[in-house]
Structure 1
Amino acid sequence: MTARVTLYGRDGCHLCDEARAVVAAVCAELGEEFDEVDVDTDAALQDRFGEEVPVTFVDGRQHDFWRVDPARLRAALATDRG
């Protein structure tokens, strides 16, 4: 199964830790997968996201940054892939 959610973040980021916990819980609840990408491993990602991490994408589209609202993420995952 391809992950529908991608979490972009960095080590040592407390907001990233909080976002990871929400994403992991919601994905586990709904039987979804998620990928995590460290923006500090890629200069282009550092330039793109800067200090606006964590950033979540659902089905390839930006969903949230800084905070992940579990209800909003559930709603996004309730829709068909697209």
Structure 2
Amino acid sequence: MKVVTLFTRNGCHLCDIAKEIIMELKNDFDFAYEECDIEERDEWTEAYGLMIPVILLDGKEVQYGQIDKTLLYKAFSEK
């Protein structure tokens, strides 16, 4: 099963949109979802602080910032 990880933080409007898009993709793809607040770990804040939201698919970064549903769908289809 694929694993989708969303790096986010509280109060991030783009992160809310990214989560909505990911949840919409649940209709077409079977995957486990995990959400990580970057403020919980210094290494996450350092790695993703300027990029959130960041979406990983099976541990590989597929999109960040303003998430494009079409491109994300394509990434899910390729895996």
TM-score, shorter chain, exceeding 0.5: yes
Report the counterpart of residue 34 of structure 2 in structure 1. Answer: 35
Q: CA RMSD in A?
A: 1.5
Q: Hey, what does 2:24 align to over in structure 1?
A: 25
What is the identity, as a one-letter code, of the residue corresponding to 1:79? E
Look up the SS of the partner of 1:53 in the other structure: coil
Percent of paired sites with the same residue = 28
Give the residue type in structure 1 aligned to 2:15. C
What's the TM-score once normalised by structure 2's chain length? 0.86
Q: Give 5+ residue unaligned stretches, structure 2.
A: none
Question: 2: CA distance between counterparts of 1:36 and 1:28?
Answer: 18
For the 8 Å contact 1:6–1:35, the answer to whether it is kept is: yes
- Structure 1 spans left out of the alignment, 5+ residues: none
CA distance in 2, matches of 1:28, 1:7: 18
The answer as to whether partners of 1:27 and 1:33 remain within 8 angstroms in 2 is no
Offset of residue 24 of structure 1: 1.1
**Residues 1-82 of structure 1 aligned to structure 2 (within 5 Å):** 1=1, 3-80=2-79
**TM-score, normalization: structure 1?**
0.84
Counterpart-to-counterpart distance in 1, 2:21 and 2:66: 9
More strand by share: 2
**Deviations for 1:25-72, whole angstroms, at most 9, x for unmatched residues?**
113332322211100100110011112100011121111111221121
